[in-house]
Protein backbone atom coordinates (compact mmCIF):
# COMPACT_ATOMS: atom_id res chain seq x y z
CA UNK A 1 0.00 0.00 0.00
CA UNK A 2 1.28 3.47 -0.81
CA UNK A 3 2.64 5.47 2.12
CA UNK A 4 0.50 8.35 3.27
CA UNK A 5 3.34 10.66 2.26
CA UNK A 6 3.80 10.37 -1.53
CA UNK A 7 6.89 8.15 -1.86
CA UNK A 8 9.00 10.39 -4.12
CA UNK A 9 12.01 10.22 -1.77
CA UNK A 10 14.20 7.35 -0.54
CA UNK A 11 14.25 8.46 3.08
CA UNK A 12 16.47 7.43 6.00
CA UNK A 13 15.05 5.32 8.82
CA UNK A 14 15.67 8.12 11.34
CA UNK A 15 14.05 11.50 11.96
CA UNK A 16 15.24 14.60 13.77
CA UNK A 17 13.39 16.23 16.62
CA UNK A 18 15.53 19.33 17.12
CA UNK A 19 18.78 20.96 16.16
CA UNK A 20 21.56 23.04 17.69
CA UNK A 21 24.01 24.83 15.40
CA UNK A 22 25.68 22.21 13.20
CA UNK A 23 24.00 19.31 15.00
CA UNK A 24 20.68 17.58 14.27
CA UNK A 25 19.30 15.53 17.15
CA UNK A 26 16.88 12.58 17.11
CA UNK A 27 14.13 12.05 19.70
CA UNK A 28 16.36 9.62 21.64
CA UNK A 29 19.11 12.25 21.88
CA UNK A 30 21.46 10.87 19.19
CA UNK A 31 23.45 13.78 17.75
CA UNK A 32 24.33 13.86 14.05
CA UNK A 33 26.90 16.32 12.75
CA UNK A 34 25.14 18.02 9.84
CA UNK A 35 27.23 18.62 6.72
CA UNK A 36 24.11 18.80 4.57
CA UNK A 37 22.36 21.74 6.25
CA UNK A 38 19.08 20.71 4.66
CA UNK A 39 20.92 20.80 1.30
CA UNK A 40 22.61 24.18 1.61
CA UNK A 41 19.68 25.80 3.39
CA UNK A 42 20.52 26.24 7.10
CA UNK A 43 23.32 28.75 6.51
CA UNK A 44 23.28 29.81 10.19
CA UNK A 45 22.78 26.30 11.57
CA UNK A 46 19.78 24.87 13.39
CA UNK A 47 17.75 26.92 15.87
CA UNK A 48 19.97 29.97 15.44
CA UNK A 49 18.97 32.20 18.40
CA UNK A 50 18.81 35.40 16.33
CA UNK A 51 16.63 33.77 13.67
CA UNK A 52 14.39 32.15 16.30
CA UNK A 53 13.94 35.55 18.00
CA UNK A 54 13.17 37.26 14.68
CA UNK A 55 10.70 34.58 13.61
CA UNK A 56 8.86 34.45 16.95
CA UNK A 57 8.70 38.22 17.23
CA UNK A 58 7.17 38.44 13.75
CA UNK A 59 4.89 35.44 14.46
CA UNK A 60 3.40 37.36 17.39
CA UNK A 61 2.53 40.30 15.13
CA UNK A 62 1.32 39.16 11.70
CA UNK A 63 2.11 36.07 9.61
CA UNK A 64 0.52 36.60 6.29
CA UNK A 65 -1.36 39.31 4.47
CA UNK A 66 -1.28 39.36 0.66
CA UNK A 67 0.78 41.00 -1.99
CA UNK A 68 -2.15 43.32 -2.64
CA UNK A 69 -0.96 45.22 0.48
CA UNK A 70 2.33 46.95 1.28
CA UNK A 71 4.64 44.52 3.11
CA UNK A 72 7.36 46.49 4.95
CA UNK A 73 9.36 43.32 5.77
CA UNK A 74 9.51 42.55 2.04
CA UNK A 75 10.67 46.06 1.23
CA UNK A 76 13.39 45.83 3.87
CA UNK A 77 14.70 42.55 2.43
CA UNK A 78 14.49 43.88 -1.14
CA UNK A 79 16.46 46.98 -0.05
CA UNK A 80 19.17 44.76 1.47
CA UNK A 81 19.40 42.60 -1.67
CA UNK A 82 19.51 45.62 -4.01
CA UNK A 83 22.14 47.37 -1.85
CA UNK A 84 24.37 44.29 -1.86
CA UNK A 85 24.04 43.09 -5.47
CA UNK A 86 23.76 44.08 -9.15
CA UNK A 87 19.96 44.05 -8.89
CA UNK A 88 17.54 46.95 -9.15
CA UNK A 89 14.45 44.97 -8.22
CA UNK A 90 13.39 41.73 -6.50
CA UNK A 91 10.37 39.39 -6.60
CA UNK A 92 9.96 36.95 -3.71
CA UNK A 93 9.00 33.31 -4.11
CA UNK A 94 8.79 30.34 -1.75
CA UNK A 95 11.33 28.13 -3.50
CA UNK A 96 14.03 27.84 -6.10
CA UNK A 97 11.82 26.26 -8.72
CA UNK A 98 9.36 29.16 -8.51
CA UNK A 99 12.32 31.49 -9.02
CA UNK A 100 13.18 29.50 -12.18
CA UNK A 101 9.62 29.89 -13.48
CA UNK A 102 9.70 33.66 -13.05
CA UNK A 103 13.20 33.93 -14.55
CA UNK A 104 11.92 32.13 -17.66
CA UNK A 105 8.80 34.29 -17.87
CA UNK A 106 10.80 37.46 -17.29
CA UNK A 107 13.27 36.94 -20.13
CA UNK A 108 10.58 35.88 -22.58
CA UNK A 109 8.44 38.87 -21.65
CA UNK A 110 11.43 41.14 -22.05
CA UNK A 111 11.92 40.13 -25.67
CA UNK A 112 8.19 40.22 -26.37
CA UNK A 113 8.11 43.83 -25.20
CA UNK A 114 11.24 44.58 -27.23
CA UNK A 115 9.25 43.55 -30.33
CA UNK A 116 11.47 40.48 -30.80
CA UNK A 117 8.97 37.74 -29.85
CA UNK A 118 11.01 35.18 -31.81
CA UNK A 119 13.62 35.32 -29.05
CA UNK A 120 12.25 32.53 -26.89
CA UNK A 121 15.13 30.06 -26.69
CA UNK A 122 16.93 29.56 -23.39
CA UNK A 123 20.32 27.84 -23.51
CA UNK A 124 21.21 25.65 -20.53
CA UNK A 125 23.85 23.08 -19.65
CA UNK A 126 23.94 19.35 -19.11
CA UNK A 127 24.04 18.43 -15.41
CA UNK A 128 22.02 21.54 -14.53
CA UNK A 129 19.36 21.49 -11.84
CA UNK A 130 16.92 24.37 -11.74
CA UNK A 131 14.04 22.74 -9.86
CA UNK A 132 11.16 20.29 -10.35
CA UNK A 133 8.40 22.40 -11.89
CA UNK A 134 7.63 22.01 -15.58
CA UNK A 135 9.68 24.97 -16.82
CA UNK A 136 12.59 24.06 -14.56
CA UNK A 137 12.74 20.44 -15.74
CA UNK A 138 12.61 21.57 -19.35
CA UNK A 139 15.60 23.79 -18.53
CA UNK A 140 17.52 20.88 -16.98
CA UNK A 141 16.82 18.69 -19.96
CA UNK A 142 18.13 15.47 -18.43
CA UNK A 143 16.15 12.30 -18.96
CA UNK A 144 16.23 11.56 -15.22
CA UNK A 145 14.13 14.65 -14.58
CA UNK A 146 11.96 14.73 -17.65
CA UNK A 147 11.11 11.12 -18.53
CA UNK A 148 7.37 10.55 -18.49
CA UNK A 149 6.50 14.21 -17.97
CA UNK A 150 6.25 15.26 -21.59
CA UNK A 151 5.47 17.12 -23.63
CA UNK A 152 8.09 19.45 -22.21
CA UNK A 153 7.87 23.20 -22.45
CA UNK A 154 9.51 24.09 -25.77
CA UNK A 155 12.29 26.61 -26.24
CA UNK A 156 15.18 25.08 -24.30
CA UNK A 157 18.46 23.71 -25.59
CA UNK A 158 20.88 21.79 -23.37
CA UNK A 159 24.58 22.10 -24.17
CA UNK A 160 27.52 20.06 -22.88
CA UNK A 161 28.69 21.34 -19.49
CA UNK A 162 31.23 24.14 -19.82
CA UNK A 163 31.45 23.80 -23.63
CA UNK A 164 31.57 27.46 -24.55
CA UNK A 165 32.31 26.78 -28.19
CA UNK A 166 29.02 24.88 -28.32
CA UNK A 167 27.39 27.84 -26.57
CA UNK A 168 28.84 30.30 -29.08
CA UNK A 169 27.60 28.12 -31.94
CA UNK A 170 24.11 27.77 -30.43
CA UNK A 171 23.56 31.50 -29.91
CA UNK A 172 21.59 33.38 -32.49
CA UNK A 173 18.65 35.62 -33.21
CA UNK A 174 16.26 33.30 -31.31
CA UNK A 175 18.31 33.25 -28.12
CA UNK A 176 16.45 34.87 -25.24
CA UNK A 177 18.90 33.97 -22.50
CA UNK A 178 21.58 31.68 -21.15
CA UNK A 179 20.67 30.05 -17.82
CA UNK A 180 23.51 28.60 -15.76
CA UNK A 181 24.67 27.77 -12.24
CA UNK A 182 28.10 29.34 -11.54
CA UNK A 183 28.77 26.20 -9.46
CA UNK A 184 26.60 23.19 -10.29
CA UNK A 185 25.26 21.71 -7.05
CA UNK A 186 23.17 18.63 -7.85
CA UNK A 187 25.41 18.18 -10.90
CA UNK A 188 28.34 17.38 -8.58
CA UNK A 189 29.90 20.61 -7.20
CA UNK A 190 31.22 21.61 -10.61
CA UNK A 191 32.35 25.24 -10.75
CA UNK A 192 32.68 27.24 -13.95
CA UNK A 193 36.02 29.03 -14.03
CA UNK A 194 36.01 32.82 -13.70
CA UNK A 195 37.20 32.96 -17.30
CA UNK A 196 34.30 30.79 -18.45
CA UNK A 197 31.77 32.98 -16.65
CA UNK A 198 33.31 36.08 -18.20
CA UNK A 199 33.15 34.46 -21.62
CA UNK A 200 29.49 33.53 -21.13
CA UNK A 201 28.74 37.15 -20.18
CA UNK A 202 30.64 38.37 -23.24
CA UNK A 203 28.78 35.98 -25.55
CA UNK A 204 25.45 37.17 -24.14
CA UNK A 205 26.49 40.77 -24.74
CA UNK A 206 27.69 40.01 -28.25
CA UNK A 207 24.38 38.36 -29.18
CA UNK A 208 22.20 40.69 -27.12
CA UNK A 209 20.95 37.78 -24.98
CA UNK A 210 20.19 38.00 -21.27
CA UNK A 211 22.17 36.09 -18.65
CA UNK A 212 20.24 34.24 -15.93
CA UNK A 213 22.42 32.93 -13.11
CA UNK A 214 20.99 30.25 -10.85
CA UNK A 215 22.56 30.91 -7.45
CA UNK A 216 19.93 28.93 -5.54
CA UNK A 217 22.56 26.55 -4.14
CA UNK A 218 25.85 28.46 -4.56
CA UNK A 219 24.57 31.86 -3.41
CA UNK A 220 24.06 33.49 -0.01
CA UNK A 221 27.66 33.24 1.16
CA UNK A 222 28.10 29.56 0.35
CA UNK A 223 31.22 30.06 -1.80
CA UNK A 224 32.75 32.74 0.44
CA UNK A 225 31.30 35.67 -1.52
CA UNK A 226 27.69 36.74 -1.09
CA UNK A 227 27.09 35.45 -4.64
CA UNK A 228 29.46 33.16 -6.54
CA UNK A 229 29.54 35.24 -9.75
CA UNK A 230 31.28 38.06 -7.86
CA UNK A 231 34.56 36.14 -8.16
CA UNK A 232 34.45 36.57 -11.94
CA UNK A 233 33.70 40.30 -11.72
CA UNK A 234 30.61 39.98 -13.90
CA UNK A 235 26.93 40.59 -13.24
CA UNK A 236 23.87 38.74 -14.57
CA UNK A 237 20.67 40.35 -15.85
CA UNK A 238 18.51 38.01 -13.79
CA UNK A 239 19.44 35.84 -10.81
CA UNK A 240 17.58 33.07 -9.00
CA UNK A 241 18.08 32.78 -5.24
CA UNK A 242 16.49 30.47 -2.64
CA UNK A 243 17.73 27.90 -0.08
CA UNK A 244 20.13 29.89 2.18
CA UNK A 245 18.23 33.17 1.90
CA UNK A 246 15.60 31.99 4.39
CA UNK A 247 18.04 30.17 6.69
CA UNK A 248 15.51 27.30 6.79
CA UNK A 249 12.31 29.26 6.32
CA UNK A 250 10.90 28.69 2.80
CA UNK A 251 11.93 31.70 0.74
CA UNK A 252 13.26 32.38 -2.73
CA UNK A 253 13.77 35.40 -4.92
CA UNK A 254 14.39 36.59 -8.44
CA UNK A 255 16.76 39.55 -8.64
CA UNK A 256 16.94 41.54 -11.83
CA UNK A 257 18.14 44.71 -13.46
CA UNK A 258 15.54 47.34 -14.21
CA UNK A 259 16.00 46.67 -17.93
CA UNK A 260 15.55 42.87 -17.70
CA UNK A 261 12.51 43.32 -15.45
CA UNK A 262 10.91 45.97 -17.63
CA UNK A 263 8.22 43.66 -19.04
CA UNK A 264 6.99 42.52 -15.63
CA UNK A 265 4.35 45.17 -14.97
CA UNK A 266 1.33 44.90 -12.64
CA UNK A 267 -0.71 41.79 -13.33
CA UNK A 268 2.04 39.81 -15.13
CA UNK A 269 3.12 37.69 -12.15
CA UNK A 270 2.15 36.97 -8.57
CA UNK A 271 2.23 34.60 -5.62
CA UNK A 272 -0.10 34.10 -2.67
CA UNK A 273 2.64 33.33 -0.16
CA UNK A 274 5.77 34.67 -1.84
CA UNK A 275 7.40 37.35 0.30
CA UNK A 276 5.06 37.11 3.25
CA UNK A 277 5.98 38.96 6.47
CA UNK A 278 7.28 35.84 8.31
CA UNK A 279 9.58 34.73 5.49
CA UNK A 280 10.88 38.22 4.79
CA UNK A 281 11.51 39.10 8.45
CA UNK A 282 13.72 35.99 8.68
CA UNK A 283 15.32 36.64 5.27
CA UNK A 284 16.25 40.20 6.25
CA UNK A 285 17.91 38.92 9.43
CA UNK A 286 19.85 36.31 7.42
CA UNK A 287 21.04 39.04 5.04
CA UNK A 288 22.05 41.33 7.92
CA UNK A 289 24.25 38.55 9.31
CA UNK A 290 25.62 36.97 6.13
CA UNK A 291 26.16 40.02 3.90
CA UNK A 292 29.02 41.41 5.97
CA UNK A 293 32.77 41.33 5.28
CA UNK A 294 33.42 39.81 8.71
CA UNK A 295 31.01 36.91 8.19
CA UNK A 296 32.22 36.17 4.66
CA UNK A 297 35.90 36.30 5.60
CA UNK A 298 35.15 33.77 8.37
CA UNK A 299 33.47 31.53 5.76
CA UNK A 300 36.67 31.71 3.71
CA UNK A 301 38.90 31.00 6.71
CA UNK A 302 36.80 27.98 7.72
CA UNK A 303 36.70 26.81 4.10
CA UNK A 304 40.53 26.80 3.87
CA UNK A 305 40.77 24.90 7.14
CA UNK A 306 38.19 22.35 6.01
CA UNK A 307 39.71 21.95 2.56
CA UNK A 308 43.20 21.39 3.94
CA UNK A 309 41.89 18.64 6.24
CA UNK A 310 39.92 17.11 3.35
CA UNK A 311 43.08 16.96 1.18
CA UNK A 312 44.66 14.91 4.01
CA UNK A 313 41.60 12.65 4.11
CA UNK A 314 41.79 12.05 0.35
CA UNK A 315 45.49 11.09 0.57
CA UNK A 316 44.73 8.73 3.47
CA UNK A 317 42.06 6.83 1.49
CA UNK A 318 43.16 6.70 -2.15
CA UNK A 319 40.77 3.83 -2.92
CA UNK A 320 37.75 5.78 -1.71
CA UNK A 321 38.38 9.40 -2.75
CA UNK A 322 39.69 10.93 -5.94
CA UNK A 323 39.92 14.57 -4.88
CA UNK A 324 38.37 17.67 -3.33
CA UNK A 325 36.52 20.28 -5.35
CA UNK A 326 34.29 23.29 -4.92
CA UNK A 327 34.60 26.76 -3.51
CA UNK A 328 34.16 28.12 0.01
CA UNK A 329 31.88 25.85 2.04
CA UNK A 330 30.36 24.35 -1.09
CA UNK A 331 32.69 21.38 -1.12
CA UNK A 332 32.63 18.09 -2.97
CA UNK A 333 34.59 14.89 -2.57
CA UNK A 334 34.94 13.20 -5.92
CA UNK A 335 34.53 9.51 -5.07
CA UNK A 336 35.96 6.30 -6.48
CA UNK A 337 33.00 4.41 -5.01
CA UNK A 338 29.30 5.31 -5.19
CA UNK A 339 28.73 8.45 -3.08
CA UNK A 340 25.58 6.85 -1.64
CA UNK A 341 27.81 4.21 0.02
CA UNK A 342 29.76 7.00 1.68
CA UNK A 343 26.56 8.76 2.76
CA UNK A 344 25.40 5.49 4.40
CA UNK A 345 28.81 4.95 6.08
CA UNK A 346 28.53 8.53 7.33
CA UNK A 347 25.15 7.80 8.93
CA UNK A 348 26.83 4.99 10.90
CA UNK A 349 29.26 7.64 12.23
CA UNK A 350 26.33 10.00 12.93
CA UNK A 351 27.42 12.32 10.16
CA UNK A 352 25.12 13.82 7.49
CA UNK A 353 26.40 14.33 3.95
CA UNK A 354 24.61 14.47 0.59
CA UNK A 355 25.25 12.58 -2.65
CA UNK A 356 25.35 14.38 -5.99
CA UNK A 357 25.81 13.47 -9.63
CA UNK A 358 29.24 12.96 -11.22
CA UNK A 359 30.14 10.54 -8.38
CA UNK A 360 30.46 13.35 -5.88
CA UNK A 361 29.74 13.59 -2.17
CA UNK A 362 28.53 17.03 -1.15
CA UNK A 363 29.67 18.78 2.04
CA UNK A 364 27.49 21.84 2.62
CA UNK A 365 27.77 22.67 6.33
CA UNK A 366 26.18 25.64 8.04
CA UNK A 367 28.35 28.66 7.13
CA UNK A 368 28.96 29.35 10.83
CA UNK A 369 30.20 25.82 11.64
CA UNK A 370 32.86 25.95 14.36
CA UNK A 371 36.51 24.95 13.83
CA UNK A 372 35.97 22.11 16.34
CA UNK A 373 33.00 20.79 14.37
CA UNK A 374 35.06 20.92 11.14
CA UNK A 375 37.76 18.82 12.84
CA UNK A 376 35.10 16.44 14.20
CA UNK A 377 33.52 16.15 10.73
CA UNK A 378 36.83 15.11 9.19
CA UNK A 379 37.41 12.57 11.99
CA UNK A 380 33.98 11.07 11.24
CA UNK A 381 34.57 11.12 7.47
CA UNK A 382 37.86 9.32 8.14
CA UNK A 383 36.11 6.65 10.24
CA UNK A 384 33.43 6.23 7.59
CA UNK A 385 36.10 5.83 4.89
CA UNK A 386 37.99 3.36 7.09
CA UNK A 387 34.86 1.23 7.42
CA UNK A 388 34.59 1.19 3.62
CA UNK A 389 38.31 0.48 3.17
CA UNK A 390 37.79 -2.55 5.40
User: Which 3-state string (H, E, C) describes the chain?
Assistant: CCCCCCCCCCCCCCCCCEEEECEEECCCCCEEEECCHHHHCCCCCECCHHHHHHHHHHHCCCCCCCCCCCCHHHHHHHHHHHHHCCCCEEEEECCHHHHHHHHHHHHHHHHHHCCCCCCCEEEEECCCCCCCCHHHHHHHCCHHHHCCCCCCCCCEEEECCCCHHHHHHHCCCCEEEEEECCEECCCCCEECCHHHHHHHHHHHHHHCCEEEEECCCCCCCCCCCCCHHHHHCCCCCEEEECHHHHECECCEEEEECCCCCCCCCCCCCCCCCCCCHHHHHHHHHHHHHHCCHHHHHHHHHHHHHHHHHHHHHHHHCCCCEEEEEEECCEEEEEECCCHHHHHHHHHHCCEECEEECCCEEEECCCCCCCHHHHHHHHHHHHHHHHHHHC
Q: How many residues does the chain have?
A: 390
**Stretch binding ligand PLP (CB under 6 A), from 52-60, 80-88, 209-217, 367-375:** 209-217
- Residue 146 or 379 with smaller CB distance to ligand PLP: 146
- Residue 21 or 246 with smaller CB distance to ligand PLP: 246
Q: How far is the CB of 93 from ligand PLP (least distance, A)?
A: 9
Position with the least CB separation from ligand PLP:
96
Q: How far is the CB of 39 from ligand PLP (least distance, A)?
A: 6
Q: How far is the CB of 134 from ligand PLP (least distance, A)?
A: 12
Q: Is 214 annotated as a binding residue?
A: yes
**Stretch binding ligand PLP (CB under 6 A), from 19-27, 109-117, 181-189, 340-348:** 181-189
139 belongs to the binding site for ligand PLP (CB under 6 A): no
Binding-site member from 137, 234, 242, 256 for ligand PLP (CB under 6 A): 242
- Compute and round to an integer the Cα radius of gyration of the chain: 21
Q: Is 97 annotated as a binding residue?
A: yes
List binders of ligand PLP among 36-55 (CB under 6 A): 39
Q: Distance from CA of residue 221 to its chain's centroid?
A: 11
95 belongs to the binding site for ligand PLP (CB under 6 A): yes
Q: How far is the CB of 17 from ligand PLP (least distance, A)?
A: 24
Q: How far is the CB of 148 from ligand PLP (least distance, A)?
A: 19
- Residue 180 or 209 with smaller CB distance to ligand PLP: 180
Q: What is the rounded distance in angstroms from the CA atom of residue 112 to the CA atom of residue 288? A: 37
Binding-site member from 130, 190, 225, 307 for ligand PLP (CB under 6 A): 130
Q: How far is the CB of 114 from ligand PLP (least distance, A)?
A: 27
Residue partners of 201: CB distance under 8 A and separation at least 6 = 211, 232, 234, 235, 236
How many residues touch ligand PLP under the rule CB under 6 A: the total is 15
Q: How far is the CB of 172 from ligand PLP (least distance, A)?
A: 26
Within the chain, what is the greatest distance between any pair of CA atoms?
65
- Residue 238 or 385 with smaller CB distance to ligand PLP: 238
Q: How far is the CB of 240 from ligand PLP (least distance, A)?
A: 6
101 belongs to the binding site for ligand PLP (CB under 6 A): no
Residue partners of 158: CB distance under 8 A and separation at least 6 = 124, 125, 126, 128, 140, 141, 142
214 belongs to the binding site for ligand PLP (CB under 6 A): yes
**Stretch binding ligand PLP (CB under 6 A), from 18-26, 153-161, 180-188, 364-372:** 180-188
- Residue 97 or 353 with smaller CB distance to ligand PLP: 97
Cα-flanking dihedrals φ and ψ of residue 181, to 5°? -90, 125
**Stretch binding ligand PLP (CB under 6 A), from 10-18, 89-97, 271-279, 287-295:** 89-97
Q: Is 217 annotated as a binding residue?
A: yes
131 belongs to the binding site for ligand PLP (CB under 6 A): yes
Q: Is 222 annotated as a binding residue?
A: no
Q: Which residues are annotated as a binding site for pyridoxal 5'-phosphate?
A: 96-97, 129, 214-217, 272
Contacting residues toward ligand PLP, per CB under 6 A: 39, 95-97, 100, 129-131, 181, 185-186, 214, 216-217, 242
Q: Which residues are annotated as a binding site?
A: 96-97, 129, 132, 214-217, 271-272
Q: Which residues are annotated as a binding site for N(2)-acetyl-L-ornithine?
A: 132, 271
Amino acid sequence: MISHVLPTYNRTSFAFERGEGSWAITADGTRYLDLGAGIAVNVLGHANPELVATLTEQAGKIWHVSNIYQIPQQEKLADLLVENTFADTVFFTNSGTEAAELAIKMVRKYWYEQAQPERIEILTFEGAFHGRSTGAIAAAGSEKMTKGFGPLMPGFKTLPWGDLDALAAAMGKNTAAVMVEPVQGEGGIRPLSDDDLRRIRALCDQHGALLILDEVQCGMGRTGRLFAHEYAGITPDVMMVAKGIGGGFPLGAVLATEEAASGMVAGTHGSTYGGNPLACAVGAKVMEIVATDEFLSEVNRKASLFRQKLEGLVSAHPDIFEGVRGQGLMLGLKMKIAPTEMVAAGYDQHLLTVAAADNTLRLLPPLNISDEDIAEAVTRLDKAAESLDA
